[in-house]
Structure 1
Amino acid sequence: MAIIFIGKMYFIHKFIRIIFRAFLVPLIISVFFYYIMKPLNNIFLKNGLKPSISAVLTLTISVFMLSVVFYFLGEHMILQINGIMGNKAYINGTINEISKYININDIYKTYISTVNNYIKDMIQNLSRSVNYVTDTFSKILLILVTIFFLFKDGENFKDGFVKLFPKKHRQVLHKILSESDEILSQYVIGQSKVALSLATMIFIGYKIINMPNALLLSSITFILAFIPFIGFFVSMIVPWIIAFSMGLNMIIKLGITFLVVQTLKGRIVVPAIMGHTMKIHPLTDIFLVIGAVAMGGPIAAFTVVPFYAILKVIFINTYEYKSKEKLTN
């Protein structure tokens, strides 16, 4: 019986992982970009356009702008990566520094073994590549379609969901959904502004101290800064390794840059942009994010704070509703 139960548990875990990768992650990405694009869509709606037309225009303009940004940034990043690959002294210095903490020989052996296996399984790997490209394309298409319908029928979804419940509960449900929508909007747009501000500040700092590949490293900061609190620290791992390979002078300059940017982030950027919108104590945020990273990785770390804030909204509104119901009875 125990073996059967364990077997079933494995099947359940595998099923959850498949659902998470196939649907939940694209849904989270869709919601994220929905709130990023929402201000533009609201402009079109205020000018009298139909929801379907405003949704198409918003997606078209947003995709075009993202394509332009990725095109120019990608071009510069490729140049910087090629510069790294062409600088043998820089590579050797970095490898020597990394080898103090990681066994490079083991990595090399693993790499050779992987290459040999790849050559042996060329056809199988080609099939996997095709499947990967197809899967990626289908997920991008799913994200675009989801965003379109969120813009087109977002209000209808909310009204339709509320109507599923008895009339006496509809008012509190509508309030919960409205407040949750506001929280998600504030969080996504706020984190985007924080990430962009951090990436800009650290890019300027890298340029001042002559850190190599400033654009590439600041882009990593921008991506990881979407994870509250720990994202910025994680993004500094690679710059610190590079600084150690370049000597004491660069270590000191990077340390000063890090302290300045971290101070500006804590004292000015985050309070000015985020304020007290989430109404969560910073210590609670830290524990939430660390726990989410351990349990579910970066996606969980990004979603745990708004998810917790929404749970608070549900609990507070439900408690107030129950209290009023008791008083009236």
Structure 2
Amino acid sequence: MNRWDSTPVIRFFGGRKLLFILGVLLLIGLNILVFSSVGFIFDPFLVFIKTVALPLILSVVVYYLLRPIINLLESWRIKRIWGILITLLALVGIITMLVVLIIPFLEKQLISLAEELPRYLQDLINTIDEWLRNSIFSAYYTNLFEDVDGMIKQIPDYISSYASETVEGITNIISTVTNVVVALVTLPFILFYLLKDGHRLPSFIIRMFPPKVRPEVSSVFKGIDHQLSAYIQGQIIVSFCIGLMMYIGFLIIGLEYALLLAAIASVTSVVPYLGPVIAITPALIISIVTSPFMVVKLVFVWTIVQLLEGKFISPQIMGKSLHIHPVTIIFVLLTAGHLFGIVGIILAIPGYAILKVVVSHLYYWFQKRYNRFVEEENQYKIQ
């Protein structure tokens, strides 16, 4: 018997395997301790990541949207470089048309809504207040209102205590605007080279690995490419369909700011489950202030759109390529939002899909290497 397995406790917990696992955990802990102590060394690297992250993410999204068009033009025997130029010129023309025709109208609606929003909110508060005072909860509401009124009187103190953070908030806004401008300026250049040489990038990276593992690494890249392509292309089409259906429905029921509210619904629908709830909130406030019957019509339109999207549009366009359970999606969105804010919510699902592909392949390789009882026909199938 090996001296490491000499005691019953060690043998019960796995013998040498237990000591190996404890050693790995100890090394991981030491690495975390060292990195946390010398984290300032990585500050320039983090600044670089924050600077290039936004233009790179935008370029990848547009790349997956335009790649099918470039491949189609190339199949028509149009040189790739000319196909890229034609596609980019067409994209610039579409964006220019949107800016000239639609954006000014949306801007007017947005300004009007911003001016009217305080009135809408005040009318909504008055309506709720009147209903609660005349309901069976009036006694509880009166006591609660006294507590809330006391808290409201303390608001000036809170404002003065946090006034020092105003400068920091303005600095963050300026930094965000600067990052967006840099992203928009660098986007065309990154996008051009992605469309031109992006299909060669996986092969270039694969050649860095030993020949023995290149087939497995290639399968990882194919899985990631499939997941990103299916999600980005499908989600954009689904979002456009939701916005169009919402706009038609709002026009039918006569809801104010129909185009703006539909645009908000289209943009927020990129976030599964949480997006529709966010999108319906401003429309619900306007409909409650307008009339009770408008609320009924809005709920009817929203329900019809969600049924069409959930039962027909998403299954046909996106299918079930991600294979992610709805509860998992909710937990991933909540966690990513808490850690990284709005950006985390937007990138949570594709990031989780990529991580799932990598972990699935790693598990398959581990199983194939260490489990000699796995038969070929029962091997884990990786998407």
> How does the TM-score come out when normalised to structure 1?
0.80
In the TM superposition, residue 318 of structure 1 has moved relative to its aligned partner by 2.9
Q: Is the 8 A contact 1:228 1:302 kept in 2?
A: no
Separation in 1, partners of 2:98, 2:329 = 32
- Measured against aligned partners, the alpha-carbon deviations of 1:104-145 in whole angstroms (never above 9, x if no partner) come to xx79xx8xxx9xx99xxxxxx9xx97x887654432122221
After superposing the two structures, state which structure 1 stretch, 13-22 or 304-313, moved more: 13-22
For the residue of structure 1 that corresponds to 2:361, the secondary structure is: helix
2: CA distance, partners of 1:323 / 1:18: 39
* Cα distance, 1:287 vs structure 2: 1.5
Equivalents in 2 of 1:268, 1:17: separation in Å? Answer: 43
The answer for the alignment partner of 1:77 in structure 2 is: 106
SS in 1 for 2:220: helix
Q: Distance in 1 between matches of 2:179 and 2:310?
A: 40
The answer on whether the counterparts of 2:54 and 2:183 sit within 8 Å (CA) in structure 1 is: no
Q: Distance in 2 between matches of 1:17 and 1:212?
A: 45
Give the aligned partner of residue 159 of structure 1: 203
The worse-fitting range, judged by mean Cα deviation, of 68-77 and 160-169 is: 68-77
Q: Is the 8 A contact 1:84 1:91 kept in 2?
A: no
Q: 1:30 aligns with which of 49, 54, 59?
A: 59
Preserved CA contact (<8 Å) 1:37 1:62? no
Map 1:91-170 → 2, pairs under 5 A: 92-97=119-124, 136-170=180-214
Partners of 1:91 and 1:12 lie apart in 2 by 48
Structure 1 residue 284 corresponds to structure 2 residue 328: yes
Q: 1:19 to 1:224 in 2, by over 3 A?
A: farther
| Aligned counterpart in structure 2 of residue 271 of structure 1, from 300, 304, 315 | 315
Which residue does the alignment assign to 2:259?
215
Q: CA deviation at 1:325?
A: 4.3
Give the AA of the match of 2:343: I
Structure 1 residue aligned with 2:281, among 237, 247, 255? 237
- Contact 2:54-2:180 at 8 Å conserved across structures: no
Q: Cα–Cα, structure 1 residues 7 and 98, in superposed 2: closer, same or farther, change >3 Å?
A: farther
Question: What residue identity is the alignment partner of 2:106?
Answer: M
Shift of 1:191: 0.6
CA distance in 2 between partners of 1:49 and 1:297 (Å): 43
Greater relative contact order: 1 or 2 (C-alpha under 8 angstroms, separation 6 or more)? 1
C-alpha root-mean-square deviation of aligned residues, in Å?
A: 3.6
Distance 1:73 1:152 in 2: 31
Map 1:293-312; keep pairs closer than 5 Å.
293-312=337-356
The structural deviation recorded for 1:82 is: 5.4
* In 2, Cα distance between equivalents of 1:236 and 1:179: 35
Cα distance in 2 for partners of 1:181, 1:161 equals: 14
Change (3 A) 1:238 1:19: farther
Cα separation, partners in 2 of 1:85 and 1:228, compared to 1, 3 Å:
closer
The alignment's TM-score, normalised by the length of structure 2, stands at 0.69
Q: Aligned partner of 2:260: which letter?
A: L
User: Does the C-alpha gap of structure 1 residues 13 and 208 become closer, same or farther in structure 2, counting only changes over 3 Å?
Assistant: farther
Identity among equivalent pairs (%): 26
Distance 1:170 1:272 in 2: 34
**Equivalent residues, number:** 308
CA contact (8 A) 2:54 2:179 kept: no
Q: Deviations over 1:136-177 (max 9, x none)?
A: 443212222111111111122111100001000111111110
Q: Deviations over 1:80-100 (max 9, x none)?
A: 3455478x7x86344432687
- Alpha-carbon separation, structure 1, partners of 2:345 and 2:358: 21
Structure 1: runs of 5 or more not aligned: 119-124
1:82–1:138: structure 2 CA closer, same or farther, 3 Å change rule?
closer
Q: Secondary structure in 2 aligned to 1:49?
A: coil
C-alpha separation between the residues in 1 aligned to 2:209 and 2:114? 61
Distance 1:282 1:45 in 2: 38
Once the two structures are overlaid, the 10-residue window that deviates more, 264-273 or 156-165, is 264-273
- Give the corresponding residue for 2:27: none
Contact 2:269 2:275 in 1 (8 A): yes
Mark the CA change 1:37 to 1:251 in structure 2 (over 3 Å): closer, same or farther: same
Q: Which amino acid aligns with 1:97?
A: L
Partner Cα distance (1:200, 1:268) in 2? 15
The alpha-carbon distance between structure 1 residues 210 and 67, as it changes in their structure 2 partners (threshold 3 A), is same
**What are the residue-to-residue correspondences of 1:164-183 with 2, within 5 Å?**
164-183=208-227
Structure 2: tracts of 5 or more residues without a match? 1-34, 130-147, 374-383
SS in 2 for 1:212: coil
Distance change in 2, residues 1:78/1:302 (3 Å): closer
Q: Structure 2 CA distance, aligned partners of 1:321 and 1:79?
A: 57
What residue number does 1:320 align with?
A: 364
Letter in 2 for 1:196: F
